[in-house]
Amino acid sequence: MLPTIEEIRKLRKNLGISQKELSSAVGVSQSYVARLEKGSLNPTYNKVKKIYEFLSQSTEKLHSISLTVEKIMNRPVITCLPYDTLIAALDVMRTRGFSQLPVTNDDGTIIGVISESDINDLLMKGNSIESLRNMSVRKVMTGTLPQLDKSSQISMAYPLLKFSNAVIIVDSGRPVGIVTKADILKAIEDHA
> Which residues of the chain fall short of a pLDDT of 50?
none
46/53 Cα distance (integer angstroms): 10
Question: What's residue 27's pLDDT?
Answer: 92
Q: Report yes or no: 114 and 82 within 8 Å, Cβ to Cβ.
A: no
Determine contact, residues 59/15, Cβ cutoff 8 Å.
yes
Domain boundaries, the chain: 5-63, 69-191
pLDDT score for 137? 96
Per-residue pLDDT at 62: 67
According to CATH, the superfamily of the domain at 69-191 is CBS-domain (3.10.580.10)
pLDDT at position 131, please?
Answer: 87
pLDDT, tens digit (0-9, with 9 covering 90-100), for 44-71: 888 888 888 888 887 777 666 678 899 9
pLDDT given for residue 55 in this prediction = 86
| CA-closest candidate to residue 85, choices 123, 124, 140 | 140
CATH number of 5-63: 1.10.260.40
